[in-house]
Amino acid sequence: MFDRLARPLLRALDPEDAHSLAVKALKFAPARRPPADDPRLAVRAFGLNFPNPVGIAPGFDKHAEVPDALLRLGFGFVEVGGVTPLPQAGNARPRVFRLEQDQAVINRLGFNSDGEAVVLGRLAARAGEGGIVGLNLGSNKDSPDRTADFVRLIEAMAPVVSYVTVNVSSPNTAGLRNLQQAMVLDDLLARVIEARDRVTPRAGPTPVLLKIAPDLTLTDLDELVGVARARKIDGMIVSNTTIGRPPSLHDRVAAEEAGGLSGRPLFQLATRMLAETYVRVEGAFPLIGVGGIDSGAAALAKIKAGADLVQLYTALVFRGLGLVAEIKAELLRELARGEAERLSDLVGVDAAAMTAEDWPH
């Protein structure tokens, strides 16, 4: 109800102000327990038990202010962050742009973050609450050693989170995406996995996931997946925002803004990259599919392209937080139609066929 009343108001505001208001409202949302999810939606991945496969993508709760309110809204998991070791302001505003007609957003936030110490305090305070809360790892703008940033964050935060994501795919921090190159990535993952193993005795098991850009070439992807498999990471997330601008975009003015594009126009490219990743991973670890999900059908398409789990963000800006319940209901209806008994039976069934299609534009 609040959601329906608030949305037109929020849409009239600058996107970033609207977002801050939404987070504030969530802080005051009643702490009612949600009804338990239908067991047919449950997913086991990375050694964790997810009550349902629909997560909220990082960027929404960058500073871990409202993870429990988001879990109560029915998300199967919440990924907070990206968090950087030291607090930093990010790029100058305005830095988030809505493309209304395209149901898309362009952002160039550049890792605005409250920093490790503040976020650690918040996550430690709710650590006993249960629910799956992952952490998206960022790197300070002026960091001399980005890998050292990831290592430091893992050492500090692993005890209070369910998993960590090595984010080498945000387009708004100079040089970050270069970490996706095989040689560099190999060293990065070696150091990250070593750090994770070092903290395991006091933190318990902490899966390490790798989040990639949708703008890689397939040759890059071949090498990247080879490195990820050799270093035995626990999973991959496909994908972050794109620096591309599909010719189909209607809002040509906003499309000129620098930054990463998310939402509906990202769906085809991100889903194709997911299928391409799935066929290369050959079941070595699970994948999370993200990019342009705005319905149960879109979530199901990600699952069929190879995702065990999905995440979304941009569609929530246009459709409201109630979308998560709609998506779960649609997934259950799909199962009831008899196509499969469990969602896991559908993971990757379309991947091979998708990789044979023309490249999406």
Ligand X SMILES: Cc1cc2nc3c(=O)[nH]c(=O)nc-3n(C[C@H](O)[C@H](O)[C@H](O)COP(=O)(O)O)c2cc1C
SS3 339: coil
- Please name every residue paired with 210 in a beta bridge, in sequence order, or none if there are none: 166, 236
Q: Does 51 bind ligand X (CB under 6 A)?
A: no
Residue 6's H or E segment, with its range, is: helix 2-12
Binding status of residue 180 toward ligand X by CB under 6 A: no
Of the residues 103, 167, 180, 277, which one makes contact with ligand X according to CB under 6 A = 167
Tell me how far apart the alpha carbons of residues 81 and 74 are, in angstroms, rounded to a whole number.
Answer: 19
Among 84, 170, 173, 206, binds ligand X (CB under 6 A): 170
Task: For residue 188, give every residue at least 6 positions away whose Cβ sits within 8 Å of its Cβ, in sequence order, or none.
Answer: 146, 147, 150, 166, 168, 179
Residue type, 40: R
Helix (H/G/I), strand (E/B), else coil: 153:
helix
CA distance 270 to 132: 24
Q: Under the criterion CB under 6 A, does residue 140 sit at the interface with ligand X?
A: no
Nearest CA among 227, 230, 266 for reference residue 246: 266
**Tokens linked to 167:** 């984010």
Shortest distance in whole angstroms from residue 135 CB to ligand X: 10
Q: Among 51, 55, 76, 81, which residue sits at the site for ligand X (rule: CB under 6 A)?
A: 81
Catalytic residue check, 170? yes
Of 140 and 197, the one with the shorter C-beta distance to ligand X is 140
Q: Does 82 bind ligand X (CB under 6 A)?
A: yes
Closer residue to ligand X, CB minimum distance, 80 or 281: 80
* Segment 117 to 136, residues that bind ligand X, using CB under 6 A: 136
Catalytic residue among 143, 170, 239, 262: 170
- Tell me the two tokens of residue 41: 């939606």
**Pick 5 or 214: Cβ nearer ligand X:** 214
263 is a contact residue toward ligand X (CB under 6 A): yes
Residue 348 interacts with ligand X (CB under 6 A): yes or no = no
In the complex with ligand X, the residue whose CB is nearer, 198 or 322, is 322
Footprint of ligand X on residues 283-322 (CB under 6 A)? 290-293, 312-315
Could you count the other beta carbons within 10 Å of the beta carbon of residue 129? 10
> Which region among 4-12, 104-112, 179-187, 188-196 touches ligand X (by CB under 6 A)?
104-112
Amino acid making up residue 217? T
Give the span between the Cα atoms of 192 and 195, in whole angstroms. 5
Q: Which stretch binds ligand X (CB under 6 A): 103-111, 176-184, 298-306, 329-337?
A: 103-111
Q: In terms of CB distance, is 136 or 140 closer to ligand X? A: 136
Q: How many residues does the chain have?
A: 361
Q: What is the largest CA-CA distance in the chain?
A: 54
* Residues in contact with ligand X by the rule CB under 6 A: 57-59, 62, 81-82, 96, 105, 107, 109, 136, 167, 170, 211, 240-241, 262-263, 266, 290-293, 312-315
Catalytic site residues? 170
